[in-house]
Amino acid sequence: MTSKTGLGRFVKPPGGAGQPAAQVKPAGSVLPGELPAALASRLSSSAQPAAAEAEHCEFCGAQVPDEHGHVADLEGASLICACRACYLLFTQPNAGRGGRYKAVPDRYCFEDVGALTAAEWDELQIPVGLAFFLRSTRGDPGGSSPRGSTATGELTGFYPSPAGATECQLDLRAWQRLAAEHPMLTAAEPDVEAVLLTKSADQVEYFLVPIDVCYELAGRMRLHWRGFDGGEEARASIAAFLASVRSRARAFEPIGQEA
């Protein structure tokens, strides 16, 4: 293995299971560790490729492949690398210290009927062409968000930026109106899944994705962004990221109708 091919390319893992890494906050930025629950841990600020090294489960110490599962530490606001056995342990409800740990699902979905229109996108007033939205069951009692404390269960929007992930204002009434027509917008499991929206000149796309995918997206931006507009490397990285999401996504089926 000459370099990491998984999430480790874009982030530095926490120092140990359930122990969030120390964070350095660039002026005016919002680090993922400050977001509600599962988007956490420190993003790499280095533009250099990660050094080749084996990754290990942060629960039991077993070596894991580059593509491995993650567990959200809802109290420590971090993502934890896990071997398959430890990952499966935390797929059970309330596993581990009263539900502190929660396995991040490997679910990628798209809604193939009644896609969002450009006019509906405009209703959301998203300031950029790429954003993700999530809910937390733990809230943000420390008030580290630019808007102060994030209430438990509140929908929060973020878009990737050169500094990491930046919180954006969201018209919740518009979101609720659109959710009535597009049920996948409210289908993400709190803390561990998110809705990813992207708009190009041709179309609006949206996906239900694991939360670590958004973590990777923010990391890509920090690693590759150059200059005012990001540069060719950042655009190519985002295009590759979206292509990967599309290739994994399956048609969304509401709970109770899934095969």
Q: What is the mean pLDDT of residues 173-180?
A: 88
Domain boundaries, the chain: 109-251
Would you place residue 92 in the very low, low, confident or very high pLDDT band (cuts 50, 70, 90)?
confident
Q: With residue 123 as reference, give the H or E element that holds it.
A: helix 118-124
Give me the count of residues in the chain.
Answer: 259
Q: Is the pLDDT of residue 114 over 90?
A: no
Would you place residue 256 in the very low, low, confident or very high pLDDT band (cuts 50, 70, 90)?
low
Q: Is the pLDDT of residue 220 over 90?
A: no
pTM: 0.73
User: What is the rounded CA–CA span in Å between residue 196 and residue 185?
Assistant: 9
- pLDDT tens sequence across 10-27: 444 333 333 333 232 333
Contacts for 243 with CB less than 8 Å, ≥ 6 apart: none
User: What are the start-end ranges of the E strands in the chain?
Assistant: 55-56, 63-64, 69-73, 78-82, 101-103, 109-110, 130-135, 140-145, 148-150, 155-161, 164-168, 193-199, 204-210, 250-251
Contact 149, 140 (CB under 8 A): yes
